[in-house]
Structure 1
Amino acid sequence: MLLEMKGVAVNYGNINAIRDISISVPEGKIVTIIGGNGAGKTTTLRAMSGMVAPTRGEITFEGQRIDGLPASKVVAHGIAHVPEGRRIFPDMTVEENLRTGAFLRRDKDAIRSDLEDVYDRFPRLRERRRQTAKTMSGGEQQMLAIGRALMSRPRLLLMDEPSMGLAPVIVEEIARIVEEINAQGLSVVLVEQNAELALELADHAYVLETGNLALEGPADELHDNEHVRAAYLGI
């Protein structure tokens, strides 16, 4: 198993954000986490990427404990996080933003090669490489955030609400990109408010409700689950 969370809890002060969450991410698969607002989805990703430390439980990546490590060390292990709201550097150019994704790397030739690969994947970023990031559309900024994460050469990509606030045609493009990078061997954990999209893309799914794991199973089976259809698919 590539990544495993076992009995993980995260508290913010006296508030239990997630309680005893166990999630497994097989290599080469897309795993999605769905749930309503405040369910604990973002906190779960933040625990995986080292942005918050678990109160209890353990997280392993390729068999090594990573819970409690700072985020920079987690990135070095091979986990990249595309945060909710994109969190690009607005006053830096597109290329400067992309290069920040490789801040732990020293292989200059490979960085240049990976930068060209990102530009090939996202031609609009190539067109705007010297443009400041804040002048780009929401969809272009999302592509930039994904490209920046890919510059770290991750084994696992964590994506938090990549379709949020985007036009349907851009959402389709982001979905295609997720499928493409997964087909090339990159594992993905996808947190997505658009449950229909998430369950279409994913191999396996987890449903969080008020910080607890309510359901899990193959994504196609959860898509047909009566509770999921009523609560999250509007059916």
Structure 2
Amino acid sequence: MLEFHDIHVHYQKVAALKGVSISVPAGGIVTIVGANGAGKSTTLRCISGLVRPSKGEIRFNGERIDQLPPEKIVARGIAHVPEGRRIFPDLTVEENLRIGAFLRTDTDGIERDLENIFERFPRLRERRTQWARSMSGGEQQMVAIGRAMMSGPKLLLLDEPSMGLSPVMVQEMARIISDISAAGVPVILVEQNAGLALKLASYAYVLEIGSIALEGAAAELRSNDHVRRAYLGG
């Protein structure tokens, strides 16, 4: 579904990605794990058009997208939930969700998807008229994911969805991500919580200082000595 081939990204003279190649199939969860500054968020920002590669190609369903603006990438079916959620604090929960469908014109489909979001996230239905800024961190993450799902994505990019959440909410977020994948939406999951990410994903990439250090089935990487020492605490 997505081919991220030999991608290089520079911030001025600093190389953030150095020849990274990632392949994402049409189903399941692919995770990218690594330390702070490894290039995980840059990878997602590159896919969604927020950062331009200095070299390489990104193809989505066979079409090259690395020169497209972000709104055209969204229109092709890639939705990005950024690190830190980035919801609109002075809009209501429902207004935030409806913004996710801004590029859509299928009114009936939008209403149907909004109802689906409320079924998946009952708390958002209860708080649909509440200001987003008054929500808890976990609830705001639900709003951010729901907003992305309102675009009708064919691929969902999640950047650190468990960051700053309580242990209970981390488990809830894991359930939500699994449910989205099971419903047929492939997910690229960037997580500093490597234990969580490797349990959720079927395939994993380990990114270190802008390069792929390891890749393979997530279950196999969980038992890899380097991964266990560097990311799993033992």
Q: For residue 169 of structure 1, report the CA deviation from its aligned partner.
A: 0.5
Matches within 5 A, 1:1-235: 2-235=1-234
Report the alpha carbon displacement of residue 100 of structure 1 after superposing the two structures with TM. Answer: 0.6
Code of the aligned partner of 1:166: L
Deviation of the 1:190 alpha carbon: 0.1
Q: In structure 1, what is the Cα distance between the partners aligned to 2:216 and 2:192? A: 18
Displacement after TM superposition at 1:29 (Å): 1.5
Once the two structures are TM-superposed, the CA of residue 101 in structure 1 deviates from its matched residue by 0.3
**2:75 alignment partner AA:** A
Letter in 2 for 1:216: E
- Secondary structure, in 3 states, of the residue corresponding to 1:52? coil
CA distance in structure 2 between the partners assigned to 1:233 and 1:124 by the alignment: 32
Distance 1:181 1:35 in 2: 23
Question: AA paired with 1:143?
Answer: M
What runs of 5+ residues in structure 1 fail to find an aligned partner?
none
Q: Which secondary structure does the structure 1 equivalent of 2:43 belong to?
A: helix
Q: Deviations over 1:131-170 (max 9, x none)?
A: 1100000000000000000000001000000000000100
Listed one character per residue, the Cα deviations across residues 10-40 of structure 1 (whole Å, up to 9, x for unaligned) are 1111111111000000011200000000000
What count of residue pairs does the alignment treat as equivalent? 234
SS of residue paired to 1:91: coil
Partner SS, residue 115 of structure 1: helix
What SS is found at the alignment partner of 2:115? helix
- Residue by residue over 1:186-235, the C-alpha shift from the partner in whole angstroms, topping out at 9 and shown as x without a partner, is 10000001000000000100001111111100001111100000000001
Query: How far apart are residue 95 of structure 1 and its match?
Result: 0.5
Structure 2 counterpart SS, 1:196? helix
Instruction: State percent identity of aligned pairs.
Output: 66
| Matched position secondary structure for 2:163 | coil
Deviation at 1:109, TM superposition (A): 1.2
Aligned mates of 2:13, 2:183 — CA distance in 1: 42
TM-score between both structures, scaled by the size of structure 2: 0.99
Aligned Cα root-mean-square deviation (Å): 0.5
TM-score by length of 1: 0.99
Q: Distance in 2 between matches of 1:16 and 1:102?
A: 35
Q: Which amino acid in the other structure matches residue 161 of structure 2?
A: P
User: What letter is aligned with 1:121?
Assistant: R
- Extract unaligned runs of 5+ from structure 2: none
Q: Deviations over 1:97-147 (max 9, x none)?
A: 001100100111110111010000000000110111000000000000000
Question: Whole-Å Cα distance in 2 between the matches of residues 155 and 83 of structure 1?
Answer: 17
